[in-house]
Structure 1
Amino acid sequence: MVSALATCDVAAIVEQIRVTRGWSQAELADALGYSQSWVSRVVNGQQSLTIDQVRKIAHRLTIPVHLLRFASVGNGPAPGALARPADARAAGQDKGASTTRRRDFGKVVAMATLPLPAASANSDIDETTAPTLHAITGGQRRLDASSPARELAKAALGHLELSGRTLARARGTPFASEIAAASSEAAGFAAWLHADMADSGSARTYYRVAVDRARQAGYGLLDVYMLGSLAAFEIEAEEGQAGLTLAAEAQRRLDDTDGAVHPTARAWLSCVRALGHATLGDTAAARHELAVAERSVAQHDNAEPPWPWVFAFTEAKVASYRALAAVRLRRPNDARSAFAEAFEGGPSSSKQQAVLMVELAQAHAEAGDADEAFRLATAALRIGTSLGSERVVDRVRRFRRRHRRTKAPESDTLDEMLITHVTSALAP
């Protein structure tokens, strides 16, 4: 980097910043405000730059212009530094080109004495920008409780793109951190919607974006929340070990946050880990994590949840995780008892209620109560299809495969509904 700065090798500078920040080339292009193809040509030394472009890149990447230095004219500037004729770049001998470069260098050196554009130069970025972006995500989350994910996904992705572009314009301003946090929330919601649509690949991608932007924001709890959400997603996909690894990293980051750890954060993360251990069949570890969660929610200061949690983690929430863990550990009686406690507290949405109903159906089936099991699975499928939740539908499919030889009063109805769901998706 020192060498690149010394020769104004913008291509090398830009590429090193991209690698250091862990950006893709598309994210770098977004930060610079240019197309990905243009950035690719710059990085590969195929695109010459004007002085104004050098200054814009320096500003967007927060490179103080005075750090840029230039090699002697005889050596010529590095590729990608300043615009010049192609033949002069190849030969480095053209006298007219050398004179032009000398004038250009003088302009840049003079420019280094001028102040960089003030944060207020981005007139559309101010103290209201981040709250506005937060409010949009909040409104979309409220709609998610009663709307099909596919109907929300396009708007959510549009909002994510908007927040990303806004973040790129906000770099170097006092508002960048808050806007990064808002963009992280938007990415997390996009991930949730794609998980609900059973698009695991996209869900993972957006969760990683959410984690990256949470770290750009510098908010420890937001980082923990997004990393823990990715862990929960992997565990739900029955990738227990991957989920536990992510949850362990989230716990380390939680322990590193300033001040005392809020009970809601600790309880939630303990429940995520409990479910991961149960997925791997480790009863003792699952019970230990659930006990930690129960002690946490009982603390007196658990009334108001910390942002970005919306609701406090209550005894009913812990009961729902205890029930889910019991299903995975094949302890149907424990599961049914815990589900009863969880439903008393009331699930947060119809979709979440349907997820719990499928798990409860599994507990009843394991206990030999096929009639109740198929009644619950059928009711959950009705909710899942009405709200377009492939997440719920897939869970019902897994339940039916596991009990494919079981016959019950509701089993024929369930089979017909599953067939109808598949054929309706194929209809023109």
Structure 2
Amino acid sequence: MAEALATCDLARVLEQVRLVRGWSQGELARAVGYSQSWVSRVVNRQQSLTVDQVREVAGRLEIPIHLLRFADSAAPERGAGPTRRREFGRAVAAAALASAPAARSQRADVDENTAQTLRAITGGQRRLDAASPSRDLARGAVAHVELTGRTLMRAGRTPYAPQIAAAASEAAGFAAWLHADMDDAGSARGYYRTAVRNARLAGEPLLCAYMLGSLAAFETDAEDAASGLALTGEAARLLGTGVHPTAAAWLACMRAMAHATLGDAPAADQEIARAERAVARSDNTDPPWPWVFPFTPAKVAGYRALTGVRLHRPDEARAAFGEAFGRAAPSAKQGASLMIELARTRADAGDVDEAFSLAAESLRIAVRFRSDRLVSRVRRFRRAYRGPSARCVKELDEQLAATLT
């Protein structure tokens, strides 16, 4: 960013701001008040900016005015030609270099407690997620991603930068999850990438593997299981050998889901067996950060059930669901996701009434929490049904129509 400011490279400045804040290009366009196509042309160096546009964009992105020395006395007149613009660019370079000591002095507010404070905010937002609509949390989560990004920039080369980068990764990962629940795939993917990038900056292989695995699960759920497998492979390389059993079991389940989505039953079964062996180890106790809870046999059973759904094994899936959730009461959103998966197994087994009853209840919870991801899953279930029409089918169709309107 310093180099871009020093050369008045606004295309690069815009792209760096977008990356640091974890925005999509559309979100950047809304922030600067221009169309996405205009922003795309600027970033790709197909569109030049007037001096007034530079001033306007810098103001809307809250780029400190002293970094550009963009005052009326230093700015060229309106309509200035290329020569005056080049002169202005050289003035900006001098101003940016001159302001470097001031920028370094801003790091005084970063200390050993900063990362812990930022992580506590993300933790509080996560606790609210179980009982709150993602749309109610998304704006705060995005603001927190921006805050952690700015704090990371202020940390610079201080000893606290790696911990703050880890906190920024967690914040972006949570924002990605919320946008996935809102069925905003583009933004979710962008935040997951930001989470991975910040985890690399933190130098935390476990955190990076966790974010790569989370992105893999997202891509698999978006029906791009091949990308999901590639991402889990990268995560496995980061983890290496001798990894904690919780991390090994979780990543094996991510691979199992991808294989099952691709229809590779032997590979999916092999990964589930690998996860079961990992969770049975005596050292599977305190989970390693960023995992919060140990990966237990019940959780592996849940993934065995999900792979059974994707491999069209209704009896196996039904038994595994009972093993996974027989004693535990999931949260409302988790329960709705479970119900739509159960609906698919009941439909495969020919129990149409029960299948559509579960789908309808899942849809009611999806509407209550305004979860577009769950609504999309119910719609996907309905599109996949090829059986005879019945009253329960028509009722779900009417419920879906009312949801969409």
Provide TM-score, normalisation by structure 2: 0.77
Identity over aligned residues, as a percent? Answer: 56
Match of 1:225 in 2: 210
Q: Is 2:10 aligned against 1:25?
A: no
1:308 aligns with 2:308: no
C-alpha deviation, 1:349, in angstroms: 2.6
Instruction: Name the structure 1 match of 2:349.
Output: 367
- Partner Cα distance (1:422, 1:39) in 2: 36
1:25 is aligned with what amino acid? Q
Q: State the match for 1:243 in structure 2.
A: 228
Deviation at 1:348, TM superposition (A): 4.8
- The residue that corresponds to 1:287 in the other structure is 269
> Which moved further from structure 2: 403-412 or 132-141?
403-412
Q: 1:159 to 1:282 in 2, by over 3 A?
A: same
C-alpha spacing 1:222/1:150, structure 2 compared with 1 (3 Å): same
Aligned to 2:91: none
Match of 1:354 in 2: 336
Cα separation, 2, equivalents of 1:163 and 1:406: 53
Structure 1: which amino acid aligns with 2:221? Answer: E
Kindly provide the amino acid, as one letter, of the partner of residue 235 in structure 1.
T
1:378 aligns to what? 360
The aligned amino acid for 1:128 is: N
Say which of 159, 174, 192 aligns to 1:189: 174
Deviation at 1:15, TM superposition (A): 11
In the alignment, structure 1 residue 413 sits paired with structure 2 residue 395? yes
Say how many residue pairs are matched: 354
1:67-119 Cα deviation digits (max 9, x unpaired): xxxxxxxxxxxxxxxxxxx68x88xxxxxxxxxxxxx9xxx9xx9xxx97897
Gaps of at least 5 residues in structure 2 are 22-30, 33-38, 52-63, 69-82, 88-93
Partner of 1:174: 159
Matching residue of 2:79:
none
Q: 1:218: Cα distance to partner?
A: 0.7
Which of the two has higher C-alpha Rg? 1
User: Unaligned stretches of 5+ in structure 1?
Assistant: 1-8, 48-52, 58-85, 91-103, 424-428
Question: Paired residue for 1:150, among 135, 156, 161?
Answer: 135
Structure 2 residue aligned with 1:129, among 103, 110, 114? 114
SS state at 2:126 partner? helix
Residue of structure 1 in register with 2:258 after alignment: 276
Query: Does the CA-based 8 Å contact 1:25-1:40 persist in structure 2?
Result: no
Are the aligned partners of 1:156 and 1:186 in contact in 2 as well (CA < 8 Å)? Answer: yes
- The TM-score, its normalising length taken from structure 1, stands at 0.73
Distance in 2 between the 1:298 and 1:329 partners? Answer: 25
After superposition, the C-alpha distances for 1:196-215 in whole angstroms (9 at most, x for unaligned) are 01111111111001100110
Offset, 1:422: 0.8
Displacement after TM superposition at 1:135 (Å): 0.8
Say if 1:372 and 1:10 are closer, same or farther in 2 by CA, change over 3 A: closer
Per-residue deviation at 1:376?
Answer: 1.3
CA distance in 1, matches of 2:141, 2:177: 10
Which letter does structure 2 place at the counterpart of 1:168? M
Alignment check: 8 A CA contact 2:19 2:194 kept: no
Structure 1 residue 416, shift from structure 2 partner: 2.4
Q: How do 1:72-151 residues align onto structure 2 when only pairs under 5 Å count?
A: 122-151=107-136
Amino acid at match of 2:354: E
Match of 1:301, SS? coil
| Structure 1 Cα separation of the partners of residues 288 and 231 of structure 2 | 21
Backbone CA RMSD of aligned residues: 3.8
Q: CA offsets per residue over residues 110-143 of structure 1, 9 Å max, x none?
A: x9xxx97897752221112111110111111111
Distance 1:249 1:401, change over 3 A: same
